[in-house]
Each structure stands twice: as C-alpha cells, then as structure tokens.
A and B are shown apart, each in its own frame.
Chain A
Amino acid sequence: MNKYREWVIEKSLVAAAMVSLIIIAFIIITIFRTGLPLIAEEGVFHFLFGMEWRPRREIFGIFPMMAGTLLVTILSMLISVPLGILAATFLAEVAPQAIRSILRPVIELLAGIPSVVYGFVGLMALVPFIRIHLGPPGFSMLAGAIVLAIMALPIIITIAEDAINAVPKTYKEASLALGATHWQTIRNVILPAARSGILAGVVLGSGRAIGETMAAIMVLGNIPAIPDSVLDPIRTLTANVALEMAYAAAGPHRQALFATGIVLFGAISILVITANRLRRGQQL
C-alpha cells in the first residue's frame, strides 16, 4: 500500500517537473503552426533577407528588424559588458562586506523593475535628452541601447560574479605568493579562469536585450529600416510583433508576425544553449 502511494507520488512529481518541457513544446507547436506556412509560402530566403516590410501590400521581409535587433544588442553590450564585468569583479574580489550588502539588493532591484517602467523612463527622460543634445529625432538605437544595457546588467553581473567566485582559491593564492599584485592576479589569473562563465553571462545578457519588448517599442522609433547612425530609429523583432499583433487580422499579416516570433525564438534558443554549454565549461 505504502509502496503504491510512494510510486504515485514520485510519478506525479515527475509529471510536474515535465511541465516546463511541455510548455516549451506547446510554444513551439503554436508558433510554428501559425508562422511556418507563411515562411514556406514566402520562401525562407525572401522572408529572412527581404528588405521591405509592408504588411498592407503583403510584403514581409524581416531583414531590417534582424539587423536592428543585432545592432542594438551589440551596442548595448558595448556598454553593459565592461561595466558588468567590472562590477562583478568588484563584488567578488574587492568590495568590503558592507558595500556588498548594499550592492546586492541594488542589483536585484535593477533586475526586478518592470521593463515597462524602464521604457517609460527612457521615453520621458532619455529620448528628450538625446533629441536636445545630440539631435532629433531622439527615438533612436542609442536610446534603446542604453535602456537595454541597464536591463541586461543584473544578469551579466550575477552570472559573472558566480563564475569568478567559482575559481579555486588556490589559483589566487599561488599568484599572490609569486609576488603578483591583486590586480595582476585578477587580470591574469582569475578572469581568464572564469572566462567561460563570464561569457555565459554576456550571452544571457544579450538574450535579455534581444527579447526585450516594451522598452524597445517605447524608445526605438520603430522604423523597419537599417540605420545609418546610432541616432537613427530602428525596429526590433520583438517590437515588430508587439506593435502590429494587436492590429493584425487572421491571415498573412498575423502569420508573418508569428513567423517573426519563430526567428526570435530560434535566436534565443541558440543563445540559451550556448550559455548552457559555456556554464558547464565545455569547449564549443
């Protein structure tokens, strides 16, 4: 009797644990079912590398959005990666306990602030600032990159700090014993040893930037074209879906937005898998 009960419990726990896999499967099924027919009809090449997005004429090319997503992510990483690695190193190696106990909640809070609040602050503060000091229109890749950089920081810091803490203390002691300064030890021993973990943080941070929606719509200006400068507006893949989904009638337009979702989902999946392998310290 007891044995039977234990069996039932174990199996239901397995079932519960499987739920996340089931959800992933459902996401894949629903998105692909709506989006794939359009990609098939348009042709993968045309859809991915088409330069024009004109739903009213049923022309669906998402290349400008892919480029926009990539560019704004790279720009945001240029801001957040150095800052994030410095902060992670600071937390793990240098910060006194008192400072650490202030910074940790600060970083958690940064991670917890809703993206719509970041977008709102970007819209009310950053966009006018850029417009006035750097030139119109203000809604720009730069505005987006700054907002996304702030949003990606907590992820980069947390994961990089874990990676640095995971470096065996003996490495550090050996380096110091050889007469290296603390900074030399950090630079030449600790950071290289933590490299793959830090890289995982950067990858997941870019994932956050790529996947961000609300802040992107609110500050990027949403023009589906490849920008000439960082002050030009762009549209990301996420913004494309969110901007037009509410409007899109069932039909090719809605399908094209789900197809955009497929590309987004694919990109994020590659990043998650990459980060997963990096964190296990495997060579790619």
Chain B
Amino acid sequence: MKRVFALVLIVTMLLSIAGTGIATTEVLRGTLVIGGSTTVYVVTVLLAERFMEKYPDIRVETHSVGSTAGIVGANEGTFDIGMSSRWLRGDEPGWGLTEFVVYMDGLAPIVHPTNPVRDLTMKQLKKIFIGEITNWKEVGGKDMPITVIIREEGSGARGAFEDIVHEDIDPAPTLILVGTGGVRAGVAGDPSAISYITPVAVDETVRALTVDGVEAIAANVLAGTFPIIRPALFLTKGEPSPLEQKFIDWVLGPEGQQMLEEMGLVRVR
C-alpha cells in the first residue's frame, strides 16, 4: 500500500514537473493593459519596466487615470488589470472583481517645512479638512489662515483620506490640485498649506506630520499604528487570465516585493 502511494506520488510529481515544463516552453506573449490610481501607477510603471526587461514578449501598457476609473475600467474591460489605492466601496464589491493587495501605503499629512506644527490629532485633521479649524493658531501654530489643498475628485488618495479622516462630511478645500506632484508642489510653495501624500513622495520641499504622535513610516503602516493607511490593489474581472496572473505573480513574488521594499513601500509578502 505504501509503495503504491509512493509510486502515485512520484508519478504525480513527474507529471507536474512535465506540466510546468510544458507551460514554460509555451511562451506567454501579448499586451497587458493596466490602468488606474495615479499613486499605484508611479510604482507600477517601475515594476512593469523591470518585468518587460525580463519578459520581452509581453508588453505592459500602464495608464494613470485614477482609482475610480481603474476599478470601473477593470469591470468594463478597458483595463486587464485595474489599479486602486483605496478599498472597493458602494456597489463596487458586488461587481465580481478579484482583489490582489500589492502593498500597503500610508497617507501622510504634509505642511511647509517652515511650519512649526509637528503633530496633529485625527480630530484636528478632520476639523481642518472640513473647514471647522481655519487658522494654524488653533492647533498651536502661527496666526495664519490654513490653505487646505486636496486632490481632484476620483483620486484614490482623496477617497481614502475622506473615508478615514472625515468619513461622511465633505471637505472644504482652498485649492484642488492634480496629482501627487501637484499637491506637493502646492504645499512646497505655500507656508500656510496642508495636504496629504504617500510618504514615499515626501521629500525635503515639504514636511510630513505625525498623526496622534505616530510617524508615517513603513513599520508603523505595517503594524497598523499609523491611522491613515490604505491598500494598493490590483483588480481583475473574475479570475485573472494566464497573462494577468503572470504579472501579478511576479509582482507578489520575491523580485517584485523586493523592488517595492526598495521604494520604501510596505511589502505584503
């Protein structure tokens, strides 16, 4: 009996090796259209670049159109893989999309480097963004009106920030600027401004605030102690096709996750 079992095992193993052998000789080729979140896009283009070096027969087209459009695009078939930087919400979970969490990301409140304020509580953040606090002196800063800069409608960062920080209340912005770079440049140029971006994009032109005393760094995002966190999602309609699966597997595999870590992101595998 044991022998039979061993034989079956060996045969299965051989078959599976043969199977994978066949699969790898059969070269996957084609075009993979990926679109969505502008935040995840920045990361995905770098991943796609490396992936295409490795698999020259696969062309990965990446489009930066925003999370909502990425989710809808994956559902409508405009994109093979949709990118989102927020969880699905509203009707979206019912559309039959498969979610792959690629990495976890925080959203750091940013201010001008000359702003003396270093920390805000979640409550203060909420009040600032919905317009109940309008002057920096109310949160321990200088006496100057706050320039509240938010992202454009449909941005995943905006969606996630609204969901987490001020839930059901609409924001009361001073400016709406386009893209991570847009809001960062806006804050960099205005001593009284506040906005939010992924910690990865924080550079010397702006200062990231701590929230409730917690710094927006990878370890705190992973531990869940930093309060404003959101996922980076890949979405496929139903189960991924072999081509889609190949890219997703590679991104979630050691090579992709290693790249993410090098970019300062929080790997999920």
Contact = CB atoms under 8 A, between A and B. Distances in A.
* Chain A–chain B contact at Cβ < 8 A: yes
A235 B177 CA distance: 11
B186 A139 contact: yes
A243 interface: yes
Interface of B: 65-69, 71-72, 76, 147, 149, 152-155, 162, 170, 173-178, 186, 189-193
For chain A, what secondary structure do more than half of its interface residues adopt (helix, strand, loop), or is it mixed?
Answer: loop
Interface of A: 54-57, 127-128, 131, 136-139, 217, 221-223, 233, 235, 243-244, 246-250
Given A136-B147, A137-B186, A137-B190, A247 B173 contact: no
B177 A247 contact: no
A137 B174 contact: yes
A128 B176 CA distance: 16
A243 B69 contact: no
B63 to A, nearest CB: 9
A284 B252 CA distance: 68
B193 A244 contact: no
B76 A250 contact: yes
Given A136-B147, A222-B152, A246 B178 contact: no
A247 B147 contact: no
B66 A247 contact: yes
5 contacts: A233-B176, A247-B67, A247-B68, A249-B72, A250-B76
Contacts of A131: 189-190
B153 A139 contact: no
Contact of B175 (A54, A128, A139, A250): A139
A57 B71 CA distance: 18
Contacts of A127: 189
Contacts of A246: 65-66, 69, 154
Ranked nearest first, the 10 interchain pairs of A and B with the lowest CB-CB distance are A247-B154, A249-B72, A247-B66, A222-B176, A246-B65, A221-B175, A247-B69, A243-B152, A247-B68, A244-B153
Given A246-B65, A247-B155, A248-B69, A222 B175 contact: yes
A210 B147 CA distance: 27
A138 to B, nearest CB: 7
Nearest to B89: A56
A233 B174 contact: yes
A68 to B, nearest CB: 12
Contact of A136 (B155, B162, B190): B190
B152 A244 contact: yes
A131 B174 CA distance: 14
A221 B65 contact: no
Contacts of A55: 153-154
A228 B241 CA distance: 54
Q: Which of B71, B72, B154 has its CB near the most chain A CB atoms (within 10 A)?
A: B154
Contacts of B173: 223
Given A55-B153, A222-B175, 20 more contacts: A127-B189, A131-B189, A137-B175, A137-B190, A137-B193, A138-B189, A138-B190, A139-B175, A221-B174, A221-B175, A223-B173, A223-B176, A233-B175, A235-B176, A243-B152, A243-B153, A246-B154, A247-B68, A250-B72, A250-B76
